[in-house]
Structure 1
Amino acid sequence: MSQNTASTGAFAPLKQGLFAVIWAATILGNTGSFMRDVASSWLVTGLSSNPAAVALMQTAATLPIFLLAIPAGVLSDILDRRRLLIFVQLLLASVSGTLLLLSHNNLLTVDYLIALTFVGGIGAALMGPAWQAIVPELVPRPQLRNAVALNSLGINIARAIGPATGGLLLAALGAWAAYGADVLSYVFVLAALLWWKRPQKPKDALQEHFFGAFRAGMRYVKASRELHRVLLRAAIYFAFASAIWALLPLVARNLLQSSAGFYGIMLGAVGVGAIVGALLLARLRQVMSSDGLLLLSAALSALVMVVLALLPVQWLALPLMVLLGVSWIIALTTLNGVAQAVLPDWVRGRGLSVYLMVFNGAMAAGSLFWGLVASQTGLVTTLLLAGAALLLSALLFWRLTLPSGEDDLQPSGHWDAPVVEGDAHADRGPVMIQIHYQVAAADRPAFLATIKKFSLSRRRDGAYAWGIAEHSAEPDTLVEWFLVESWQEHLRQHQRVSHADADLQREVVSFHRGDSKPVVHHLLSLH
């Protein structure tokens, strides 16, 4: 094996001690969470036989993430991510502790379960962007996609262990035991986070504040065509795939006529399948594109739903759950890995928060929709409809390809420092930046096509308006202009411009025919 292969292999990130410790701790934490979830999901089917009420549990878990993902992403970019994660772990431990007390005293109701699941969803919303955004801090960039895949593998190792263990605890001792195990699991996660001595970043005069960071993040998302493709593909996939997850407790209880223990084993089989899928992914990526992987995942999930609907027998359900796990890990890792790869570090938390919002919004809306459909048409018809719709949508959107994510998004620092004389307070604005190019008439069409592509870079990094104008007295002089909300935000723009942007800027400047570099003017508002 070559040194390069060893350093970028599927398990290479585990050679990074910090990543390995936090990865192991999260497996234990997620194992406890799956114990909690299987207990809550099973309890609600006993408290209510209405499919809509059962599906509402999935909605309660994912709706807070849809609503709070973007604010959570802003917080993950402007706060110390380690401290934020510690706070969230304490919040989630308190939720499970409350469930433990209520279940031990036989006080749990559907309302309590949904409400506490919703609070747990708030914790998950706060945790998601920060947890994913710390990955690049723990591993070198060449190992990033493998680290994302290992995180998904870790979650599904927990999925293989947690539900089965939770189901056994639920059957043997009661729900309080599963909830108690979850409370204990948070101890390990907190210990790992406390052990991590995250380097303190020096105070930055350009440190963003919440609302400014929010606007900057939304400008980036609005202008990132690559992220748009990821979000659209994720929304379509998860809206249809959510059916099997929302209805699985009812499939286990009503179609398969199984017990709580078997339901836990079913979820454990999903985890086993996810582990198998994660191990296969490195090889699959060598022969299939991201789009091919997503189509494969849709086909497998659709197959599981159709076969479960037509042949609801327990012995067949377990291999189907393994297949579902393979499908799920392929979709999650593919979409999340591409989303990570198209986001620069400065906006990673905010960009991932939008991805998580779309993911959980699609899951929440899809779960509620398929629960209502099942209430009217029955489980079998709903599973058939959802499976067919998932496969058809994957085929229809095949041509909307996912981005490669190979661009170098690290800051290039190639912009010259702006010349300032007199008063230029940080909050002064808006600011207009003008760049004067000398472009020959024959080159104008190619120049305009190139600079319009470059305009997306300006908008992603801070501009809220952009345009190109012709000098009335000098037809060969073309003026690019863009507006930034403050002088401070423009200085941040200097820090954000990436190597990929620098390559495109060199292509734009190659059309310039002047004796020196294009002239840049900075104009500050007087009001």
Structure 2
Amino acid sequence: MVTAVDPGAEPSVSAWSPLRTATYRSLWLALLAANIGTWMQTVGAQWLLVHQANASTLVALVQTASLLPMLLLALPAGALADTFDRRHLLIAVQLFLVAVAAGLTVLTATGRMPPALLLTLTFAFGVGQALTLPAWAAVIPELVPRAQLRAASALGSISVNVARAVGPAAAGVLISQVGVAPVFGFNAVAFLVFALALVRWRPGDANTVEVPERFTAALRAGGRYVRHSPIVRRLLRRALVFVIPASALWALLPLVASRRLGLNSSGYGLLLAALGVGAILGALLMPRIRTLISPNRFLLLAGAMYGVTLIVVASVRSVPVVLVALLPAGVAWVTVLANVNAEIQLFLPGWVRARGLAVYQVVQGGGQAVGALIWGVVADVGGLVGAFLVAAALMLVGAVTSQIWPLPDLRGMVKDPTAYRPPLSLALQPDPRVGPVLVTVTYTIQPQQESEFLEAMEHVRGARQRTGAMRWGLFRAGETPDEFTEVYLVPSWDEHLRQHGGRLTEADQRAEERARDLSECTPAVRHLLPAAAEWTAAAGSPMPGSG
């Protein structure tokens, strides 16, 4: 249960407010160019394969090679973005993408681009994209004020949809006039522009990672945080409940265009354009909508709009009617996903933000991929119209669940880390790699306060597990019934110091202080270390952090 610190209404924020920040504006424009270049490259790669043997399979594999790295690498990419300096990581990845695009350009221009090499380089480009997305999403809260995060998320959706509209058209013109190689060359220039914009950005020292976590430890810590955070899990469920039925439209729209509406590829492009225009309108209208409708009521309205669109697409054979119906679907698509994405950005603390956003990207991308497969099978078994009607029913049911399991209220919540513990002196100072570490905290609780204490410890348990504890338990001494001992296991001493030196938030602090205030005596803390551990300092050396 989340209680907002400040229940007041949030100030109205324009859809364009983040662009008033010069750094964000320059990076957003550079990323827009990179997104356009990406769509141009996809069209260019597909065009190179259309005259090959088994062209249908090869053209489809271009999409697979582009998107597969996201599902395979999103979580490791999030760990990298939380482990290393995000700006340096982004610059390095963009330079890698420039090199890949330059290689595509040269090899294509010289006629040395067989299909296998093209797909390999397309996969390499997808790897770069997979490494970019979590780091960029985690950087946005460093670029704009907290109140503008939702608008910045909407602007990200505008960038994607403008690129989706402009990129393929621009690529088609270039290919018809000068061939495929210049298309790849434009992509190289676009990512070079993005890299230069990142070089010009000078974040504050507070955003620098001083002592990086070990990669595997960082990956496990991110998984623990998501697993033990009810708010993040609820936000991910909301995204999944919407994406799976919504993916029916994206997966089956080509069949609607050809079988039900009798359109060719240009007509299908017109349908996609209607969705894109709706998405752009949704991104522009989202700040205004939020001032008029609560987030959970808007989820209900957006789900209803999308469900009605699915019904119209399934039952109507008029192209103009379908085009009009696709506009609100585009609005609903971008506003729901941009809103959930922004809520996750608002909630996640900085130390785990990229890893949490990577999980969100896996859920969103995986939901679309699995949903597309499901609706393809349903359409084969029950027909195209039946698949759309089933998807519409699921969408409407999912919209109703937004009132049963609503979005949490995150207004006023502060997720910045806080270090509130006094220095700790140990008779033995372990090497940071030593582990696991068993921590015990013993409380003395009067009988009349037991129920309140047990409730408080549930919040403490969540804080311990989100910030590093592999196992947690609360025990009561049989010999002294007023003694309760909290026991939790941390993977290493380094993880324990991070747990109490940069991962705890003000909410975690309040939860622990509430439990400590209920104890008759100051809780006794002990750190049990492996007997065969190596020691790196003399006895009694002070160390930061405590139980």
Which range, TM-score by smaller chain?
0.7 to 0.9
Which residue pairs with 1:427 in the alignment?
433
Q: Does 1:391 align with 2:396?
A: yes
Q: Does 1:505 align with 2:512?
A: yes
Over the matched positions of the two proteins, sequence identity in percent amounts to 38
1:164–1:266 contact (8 Å) kept in structure 2: no
Displacement of 1:30 after TM fit?
1.5
| Distance in 2 of aligned mates of 1:316 and 1:96 | 41
SS of residue in 2 equivalent to 1:463: coil
Which residue pairs with 1:368 in the alignment?
373
| Distance in 1 of aligned mates of 2:247 and 2:49 | 18
CA deviations on 1:269-291 (whole Å, 9 max, x unpaired) are: 33322221112111222233333
Q: Does 1:20 align with 2:33?
A: no
Residue 97 and residue 80 in structure 1: after superposition, are their counterparts in 2 closer, same or farther (change >3 A)?
same
Which residue pairs with 2:470 in the alignment?
464
Residue 303 and residue 292 in structure 1: after superposition, are their counterparts in 2 closer, same or farther (change >3 A)?
same
| Distance in 2 of aligned mates of 1:105 and 1:334 | 46
Residue 430 and residue 228 in structure 1: after superposition, are their counterparts in 2 closer, same or farther (change >3 A)?
same
| Distance in 2 of aligned mates of 1:501 and 1:489 | 17
CA deviations on 1:53-93 (whole Å, 9 max, x unpaired) are: 98776555443212211111111111222232233334445
Q: Does 1:488 align with 2:494?
A: yes
| Equivalent AA in structure 2 for residue 331 of structure 1 | V
| Equivalent AA in structure 1 for residue 309 of structure 2 | V
| Distance in 2 of aligned mates of 1:113 and 1:483 | 49
| Equivalent AA in structure 2 for residue 268 of structure 1 | A
Which residue pairs with 1:451 in the alignment?
457
Structure 2: 5+ residue stretches without partners: 1-8, 533-547
Residue 385 and residue 52 in structure 1: after superposition, are their counterparts in 2 closer, same or farther (change >3 A)?
farther
Residue 305 and residue 162 in structure 1: after superposition, are their counterparts in 2 closer, same or farther (change >3 A)?
farther
**Alignment: residue pair count:** 522
CA deviations on 1:365-389 (whole Å, 9 max, x unpaired) are: 2223333444555544433433333
| Equivalent AA in structure 2 for residue 454 of structure 1 | V
Alignment of 1:106-185 (within 5 A): 118-166=123-171, 179-185=184-190
Query: Once structures 1 and 2 are overlaid, which stretch shifts more, 311-320 or 487-496?
Result: 311-320
2:12–2:291 contact (8 Å) kept in structure 1: no
Displacement of 1:7 after TM fit?
9.1
1:130–1:349 contact (8 Å) kept in structure 2: yes
| Distance in 2 of aligned mates of 1:91 and 1:250 | 37
1:374–1:382 contact (8 Å) kept in structure 2: yes
SS of residue in 2 equivalent to 1:409: coil
| Distance in 2 of aligned mates of 1:402 and 1:215 | 26
1:63–1:361 contact (8 Å) kept in structure 2: no
SS of residue in 2 equivalent to 1:427: coil
2:49–2:55 contact (8 Å) kept in structure 1: no
2:154–2:284 contact (8 Å) kept in structure 1: no
1:338–1:404 contact (8 Å) kept in structure 2: no
1:206–1:492 contact (8 Å) kept in structure 2: no
Residue 427 and residue 116 in structure 1: after superposition, are their counterparts in 2 closer, same or farther (change >3 A)?
closer
| Equivalent AA in structure 2 for residue 156 of structure 1 | N
| Distance in 1 of aligned mates of 2:388 and 2:106 | 36
Which residue pairs with 2:310 in the alignment?
305
| Distance in 2 of aligned mates of 1:67 and 1:207 | 23
Which residue pairs with 2:4 in the alignment?
none
Displacement of 1:50 after TM fit?
11
Residue 300 and residue 95 in structure 1: after superposition, are their counterparts in 2 closer, same or farther (change >3 A)?
farther
SS of residue in 2 equivalent to 1:480: strand
Residue 262 and residue 468 in structure 1: after superposition, are their counterparts in 2 closer, same or farther (change >3 A)?
same
Alignment of 1:234-245 (within 5 A): 234-245=239-250
1:70–1:350 contact (8 Å) kept in structure 2: yes
| Distance in 2 of aligned mates of 1:101 and 1:263 | 33
Which residue pairs with 2:536 in the alignment?
none
Displacement of 1:342 after TM fit?
2.0
Which residue pairs with 1:328 in the alignment?
333
> Root-mean-square deviation (CA), in Å?
3.5
| Distance in 2 of aligned mates of 1:233 and 1:202 | 30
1:227–1:339 contact (8 Å) kept in structure 2: yes
Which residue pairs with 1:357 in the alignment?
362
| Distance in 1 of aligned mates of 2:303 and 2:73 | 28
Q: Does 1:30 align with 2:46?
A: no
Query: Once structures 1 and 2 are overlaid, which stretch shifts more, 316-325 or 168-177?
Result: 168-177
Q: What TM-score does the superposition give when structure 1 sets the normalisation length?
A: 0.86
Q: Does 1:405 align with 2:447?
A: no
| Distance in 1 of aligned mates of 2:249 and 2:86 | 33
Residue 381 and residue 111 in structure 1: after superposition, are their counterparts in 2 closer, same or farther (change >3 A)?
farther
SS of residue in 2 equivalent to 1:435: strand
Q: Does 1:341 align with 2:352?
A: no
Which residue pairs with 1:77 in the alignment?
82
1:171–1:260 contact (8 Å) kept in structure 2: no
| Distance in 2 of aligned mates of 1:358 and 1:439 | 43
Displacement of 1:176 after TM fit?
5.8
| Distance in 2 of aligned mates of 1:373 and 1:475 | 60
| Equivalent AA in structure 1 for residue 231 of structure 2 | E
CA deviations on 1:271-330 (whole Å, 9 max, x unpaired) are: 322221112111222233333333333333333333233334443443334323212111
Query: Once structures 1 and 2 are overlaid, which stretch shifts more, 481-490 or 148-157?
Result: 148-157
| Distance in 1 of aligned mates of 2:400 and 2:352 | 32
CA deviations on 1:463-518 (whole Å, 9 max, x unpaired) are: 1111112233332222222121222111101121111111222322232233xx32
| Distance in 1 of aligned mates of 2:201 and 2:350 | 20
Query: Once structures 1 and 2 are overlaid, which stretch shifts more, 377-386 or 19-28?
Result: 377-386
Which residue pairs with 2:217 in the alignment?
212
Residue 79 and residue 334 in structure 1: after superposition, are their counterparts in 2 closer, same or farther (change >3 A)?
same
| Equivalent AA in structure 1 for residue 302 of structure 2 | S
Query: Once structures 1 and 2 are overlaid, which stretch shifts more, 407-416 or 389-398?
Result: 389-398
Structure 1: 5+ residue stretches without partners: none
Displacement of 1:219 after TM fit?
1.4
2:41–2:184 contact (8 Å) kept in structure 1: yes
2:161–2:279 contact (8 Å) kept in structure 1: yes
Which residue pairs with 2:537 in the alignment?
none
Displacement of 1:131 after TM fit?
0.9
SS of residue in 2 equivalent to 1:186: helix
Query: Once structures 1 and 2 are overlaid, which stretch shifts more, 120-129 or 385-394?
Result: 385-394
Alignment of 1:75-114 (within 5 A): 75-93=80-98
| Equivalent AA in structure 2 for residue 419 of structure 1 | S
